[in-house]
């Protein structure tokens, strides 16, 4: 992804404009609708099977879910801070903050891989019961989105290192950032649904 | 500390971290029963709103997009809350 040389205002916070490309917002909204349907399908199935779902839920490591939530929140903060830094023409800071977001995203994936491995090693799989069917499907689809987001972050990081983002060239950065925030927003629902709600 | 909190993004980060901790505490028997579930979902809504408005920067975006995403957030949280309440009431489909 290259920086798009479309003039953008110094700060989105002071204007009535949509950050990034409008097309990505259409995509984001479609993704949110799809995941929203998944979340409702999960809770709909939970009704009437509360005890069975709770029994399986208790075998999850809530601490790992908490760590992953904090990692995505911090990464999202780093990305929006990078956009702010670009508006202020602080290109080195942009790269540093994007690097931090990538580190958090990779850490999220490592924790997820550790969690999956532990479950599979203890004989729990997608076929174990309804709860774990939802658990592996929902977190698996989400993990694919994290990987796509990480790819975008790496491209933006490389662009930032070449100084391609500045006050007049933030559109590409804002577009990628919006996608990453969506990944965070989805996890904000997944963590309580799968790990906390009972 | 004071200067750090002047930046609205830092404030949002701090709130998100604190309420995430609160949701975890609720699940660790800080609040039990339906009350705990409702409080957990209220936190989901609050966190989602902060991400949409402050991190996605839609607070000052065109109203259509702000309300589309906030509408999705509200509807999804409300449906989860509805089915959660039904489930806790012992009703089956």
Does the pLDDT of residue A18 top 90, yes or no?
yes
Each residue's pLDDT tens digit, B28-85: 876 678 899 999 999 999 999 999 999 999 999 999 999 999 999 999 999 999 999 9
pTM for the structure as a whole: 0.92
Nearest CB among A39, A84, A198 relative to B9 is that of: A84
The answer for B 20-79 residues in CB contact with A (under 8 A) is 20, 23-24, 26-28, 37, 40-41, 43-44, 47-48, 51-52, 54-62, 65, 68-69, 72, 75-76, 79
**Which of helix, strand or coil describes residue B59?**
coil
Mean pLDDT of the region A113-119: 97
């Amino acid at each position: 992804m290259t920086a798009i040389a479309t003039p953008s205002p110094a700060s989105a916070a002071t204007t009535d404009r949509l950050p990034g490309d409008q097309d990505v917002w259409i995509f984001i909204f479609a993704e949110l609708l799809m995941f929203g349907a998944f979340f409702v399908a999960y809770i709909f199935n939970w009704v009437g099977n509360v005890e069975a779902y709770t029994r399986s839920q208790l075998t999850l490591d809530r601490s790992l879910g908490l760590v992953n939530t904090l990692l995505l929140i911090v990464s999202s903060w780093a990305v929006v801070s990078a956009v702010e830094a670009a508006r202020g023409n602080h290109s080195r800071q942009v790269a540093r903050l994007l690097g931090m977001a990538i580190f958090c995203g990779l850490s999220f994936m490592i924790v997820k891989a550790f969690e999956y491995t532990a479950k599979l090693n203890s004989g729990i799989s997608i076929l174990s019961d309804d709860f774990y069917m939802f658990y592996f499907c929902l977190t698996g689809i989400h993990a694919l989105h994290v990987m796509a987001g990480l790819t975008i972050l790496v491209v933006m990081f490389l662009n930032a290192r070449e100084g391609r983002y500045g006050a007049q060239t933030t559109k590409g950065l804002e577009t990628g950032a919006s996608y990453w925030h969506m990944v965070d927003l989805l996890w904000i629902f997944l963590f309580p649904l799968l790990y906390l709600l009972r | 500390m004071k200067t750090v909190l002047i930046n609205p993004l830092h404030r949002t980060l701090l709130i998100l971290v604190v309420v995430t901790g609160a949701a975890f505490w609720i699940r660790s028997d800080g609040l039990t029963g339906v009350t705990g579930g409702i409080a957990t979902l209220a936190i989901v809504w609050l966190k989602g709103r902060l991400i949409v408005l402050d991190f996605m920067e839609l607070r000052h975006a065109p109203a259509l997009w702000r309300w589309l995403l906030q509408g999705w957030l509200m509807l999804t949280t409300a449906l989860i809350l509805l089915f959660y309440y039904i489930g806790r009431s012992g009703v089956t489909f």
